[in-house]
Amino acid sequence: MDLQRVVDAYVIGIGESQDNTELLNKLVTHISAGDTSLLELVQALGDHLASDEATRRSRGTHILSDVLGELPAAAVPARATTMLTQFFCARLGDATCVPQTLRALMALLRLPAFTSQYAIDVVSALFKEVHVQSFQQSTRSTAYSLLQTVVDGYPKAVQSIGDDFVLGFAQALDGEKDPRSLMVAFELVPRIIELVDIEKYAEDLFDNRDGDPSAISPEALKRALRACIAGSPYFGELAVKPLVSKTTATSVSAKIDAYETLAAGARVYEPSVFLPRMEALVDQIREEVFMAADEDVVRAALGTLEAVYAVISVPPASAKPCAMEEDATPLDYILKEASIQLTADEIKNPEEVGRILRAAAKSSSYNCAIVTDAILPVIAERLSSTEVLTVRRQLIDVLNHVLPPVPLDKEYSVLHMVRLKGITLLVLLPGLLTDNEAAVALTPNVNKEATHLLVQLSLARHELVSKVVLPKLIEALTADTVAASKVARLLDVLGAVAVASRSLVATIVTSICEVLITGLQPAFRVAAMTTVRKIIDATLAAKSDPELVTHLAASVMQPVAQWMLQLVGQQESVPLPLVVEFAKCEVALFSNLDAAAQEKTGEYWFDTYRSVIVDASNAQAEAKSLLPLWRFLIVAAFLGDLSHAALATENAIQRDACFEIISSVVNKTKDAKVRAQLVQTVLDKAVSADSPADPLVLLHQWIARALVTCNDRLGYDSVRWLFGLIDAKSELSTQAAEGFSVILGDHDWSVTKPTHGVFRLLFKQRFYATVLPEITARFNAATDDVTKAAFLVVLTNVIRHMPKSVLMNGIETVVPLLLSAVRPDPRRAELCLWMLDALQKSEANTVDVRRAALETLALVPEKYDIGVLHSVRHTILKVLTKTRDDHKRLVRLDAVRGYNKWLNFGDV
């Protein structure tokens, strides 16, 4: 590759706004392969980088930043990282090159050789040399993203810079109005607050300007701004006053934003900043609730009231000194007004009064006690002293709001109890409901409400649920006459409780497994195992602690496996759905165990395999039904015996399981020499076995999958072996061609990312670049349609699993092959070939005959598509080339016209 020519072409392309993707890919490819070094590229760019013209310097920096952005980390040596960091830090002083320099620094930040000291140099140069607000939005956004990368990846560097980082960030952000840039900047503030003491810079970061709009329309930007405002207690004094005043705005969205921001700040700010403005805030919230103009505003206002009271009204032992009177509490703003309302002759807005009291009571157990102690005596006295039905009903409405906010209630458990009791009373009243009506009312509703209630109780009193409720549910599962619908409901309840309460997960999973092993009817075993699997998936998705995972593995894996093996020993078959569900539990638990536990578990499973199926080819049919269990765990030994067993058996489940185990082991073997020995052992054992050829094809496909995904060249030996079958016109050529979907496609279990398979970067690109030329050459060399069709199947399977960006690089090779698959009408092709005979120079073909043939050929491209006559296009052009030298001028003129039409045939 002529590096200087490529660089010069790249510079010209930038100046003319051309697409330089091909040139960029060429540079990246050669540098990655070691054909060219970064130093040579910099030398080739030397005249541009050191030019006195700003435009040339910018273009040179542009090329260098483009290449760094695409290069893999391994292609940039540590020394080059140091030199490039120093170069680009200095280049930040050149305003023309700043956009490209920032992109290059972003690429350098991801390199493993980039250190915290380099991060300090970059940030210092950025704050010193670059006036961020003087650039376009894209450049400003890159600058904020660079700072975000430094904060996330190099926190010690930020702490080392300290106050200068806060000041520089504030200056860079000052005047920013673009929401896209503000989104990144606001996300940075909470992280900076965690790393740097910003007390003396609070006013600089929180610049409250009168007249600025308080509401920003995009929800994401509002959340980021809210997190920024609520990021530090030092913002409280500055933020609360304008936010409380903004709750009186006429805009609904502005009110909601103000209330939600106050609620977020209540968790961070000091309680003392709310107290001076609490009366005004409560009055405004009361007005919102009583007017009820918009339910969203009311909900946000009540949420703010609950959040604020949670921090300003606390038990005396933990309360901080405040400016309230000794005999007063922050709740007096609500309680006094509520008492006046409840003792009036006519209670106005009882629903609204109850909602306000409820919000205050829900804020904490302490506040719940204060509210109930103050309000319940008033309601009780009024109920005993009045006989007016409407007043009594209004008091009961208020009471219904005040009672539920107990610590265990966050989902209205009292309402669930009322519903459950109401349905029960309807069923028990004699003569009210018929038998059918009672069944309809009882079955779905009681179960649904009882499940809701049980879930809520499990969150607050899991010990009580574990002791009283769970034994009865488990006992009901083992009843002799239990119906299928009842088992399904019981399992749903157990699953819902386990997912909601992590404290009960281990107990419930252990109990279900014990029931499955000891007393559950065979018809319900799959449903029980499915419930266990769903509980395990939900528990692991919630990132449970390692001890719980270990406990679940001990409760599920070995006990259930031994039970299945016991069934096999009794010559009782195990249903495949049950085996698959248990195998999924194996995968989930095994993947989350630590290394020592995984090794111990792997040894157990392989010992079990040896003891149960010593010779898999002669194993009993019941034992073969358990073979899918071994495909889910990695057993790194005896691969040769596995391949022999797989090739010798007629059981498809056993064969696939063995091949998947072999593929997993080969793929996860790190040492290349050991991996090569394993592959050689497996293939030698397979070749020596007297077995059908069909499984051998599948074995090569799985070996190729294992090796190709980890970029091992040995995998291409199996690929070429498959090509050889197709070239040899074997009966297995179709199977070999279809198997390329095994090599590149997705799989449920073996050699996948969820099961920790080894997938190297760009392995598909490398496969495509290696295999496509061979497919093209073998296709063109094939002489029969069957072989050509097989290679087209291979090409189709390869294309299906390639990224579009990869396919574009080889489109000029792929399209002709695909077009050749379109069979033209033989009569049309023969007609064109017959006309070519008329062009040959002979006595029988006069000038008129030759001209007529040329005119006819010139009309053909206008009538038919390229796919129809693609196969004869080359022959026609070849003959027309000779005809252009005809001794007659008119014939030559017609030949040139026809040649141009056929040359452009198919071009857009």
DSSP string over 83-117? HHHHHHHHHTT-GGGHHHHHHHHHHHHTSTT--HH
Same domain, 550 and 509: yes
Mention every residue, 6+ apart, whose C-beta is less than 8 A from residue 327: none
Tell which of 633, 658, 686 closes a domain: 633
Within-domain flag for 455: no
User: How far is it, in rounded angstroms, from Cα 755 to Cα 664?
Assistant: 9
Q: What is the pLDDT of residue 626?
A: 63
H-state helical runs in 592-692: 595-612, 621-624, 628-631, 639-648, 652-668, 672-688
Within-domain flag for 686: yes
Within-domain flag for 562: yes
Same domain, 589 and 641: no
pLDDT tens figures, 529-582: 888 888 888 888 877 678 888 888 888 887 888 888 777 777 677 777 888 788
Classify 326 as helix, strand or coil.
coil
Same domain, 482 and 608: yes
Contact 229, 235 (CB under 8 A): yes
Q: Taking the CB of residue 409, how many other CB atoms lie within 10 A of it?
A: 18
Within-domain flag for 724: yes
Same domain, 597 and 710: no
User: How far is it, in rounded angstroms, from Cα 670 to Cα 682?
Assistant: 17
Taken in order 873, 879, 882, 888, the sign of the CA dihedral is: negative
Which run of H or of E encompasses 74? none
Q: What is the pLDDT of residue 217?
A: 47
pLDDT bracket for residue 623 (50, 70, 90): low
pLDDT tens figures, 101-157: 898 888 888 888 888 898 999 999 998 888 988 888 888 889 999 999 999 889 888
Tell me, what CATH number does 591's domain have?
A: 1.25.10
Q: Over 60: is that where the pLDDT of 645 sits? A: yes
Q: Over 60: is that where the pLDDT of 81 sits? A: yes
How many structural domains comprise the chain? 3
Q: Which domain holds residue 592?
A: 461-618+626-633
Same domain, 767 and 843: no
- Written as six digits, the tokens of 177 are 């109005």
Same domain, 690 and 584: no
Contact 330, 313 (CB under 8 A): yes
Tell which of 599, 633, 667 closes a domain: 633
Tell which of 821, 838, 862 closes a domain: 821
Q: What is the pLDDT of residue 296?
A: 83
Torsion of CA 652, 653, 656, 661, to 10 degrees: -150
Q: What is the pLDDT of residue 618?
A: 45
Same domain, 704 and 832: no
Within-domain flag for 432: no
Within-domain flag for 815: yes
Same domain, 813 and 837: no
Q: Over 80: is that where the pLDDT of 514 sits? A: yes
- Written as six digits, the tokens of 695 are 């499984």
Q: Give the distance between the most distant pair of CA atoms in the chain.
A: 131
Same domain, 895 and 866: yes
Mean pLDDT of the chain: 76
Same domain, 672 and 687: yes
State the residue for tokens 């003392």. Answer: 272
Q: Over 80: is that where the pLDDT of 355 sits? A: yes
User: How far is it, in rounded angstroms, from Cα 617 to Cα 608?
Assistant: 16
User: How far is it, in rounded angstroms, from Cα 116 to Cα 139?
Assistant: 23
Q: What is the mean pLDDT of residues 723-743?
A: 83
Within-domain flag for 444: no
State the residue for tokens 């969205």. Answer: 253
Same domain, 479 and 612: yes
Q: What is the pLDDT of residue 802?
A: 80
- Written as six digits, the tokens of 62 are 């542009």
Within-domain flag for 399: no
The radius of gyration computed from the CA coordinates of the chain, to the nearest angstrom, equals 39
Greater pLDDT, 313 or 98: 98
pLDDT tens figures, 651-686: 777 778 888 888 888 888 877 877 887 787 777 767
Report CA-CA distances (Å) from 646 to 555, 641, 730, 763.
32, 8, 22, 28
What is the CA 698 to chain-centroid distance, rounded?
32
pLDDT bracket for residue 877 (50, 70, 90): confident
Amino acid identity for residue 751 in this structure: V
pLDDT bracket for residue 316 (50, 70, 90): low
Q: Taking the CB of residue 859, how many other CB atoms lie within 10 A of it?
A: 11
Same domain, 753 and 877: no
pLDDT bracket for residue 53 (50, 70, 90): confident
State the residue for tokens 């840039």. Answer: 181
CB hemisphere CA count around 438 (13 angstroms): 12
Angle at the Cα of 89 from the Cα atoms of 85 and 90, rounded to 5 degrees: 120
- Written as six digits, the tokens of 528 are 């029980």
DSSP character string of 370-410 = HHHHHHHHHHHHHHHH---HHHHHHHHHHHHHHSS--TT-S
User: How far is it, in rounded angstroms, from Cα 573 to Cα 625?
Assistant: 7
Report DSSP state, residue 465: I
Q: What is the pLDDT of residue 630?
A: 54
**C-alpha closest to that of 301 among 352, 362, 250, 260:** 260
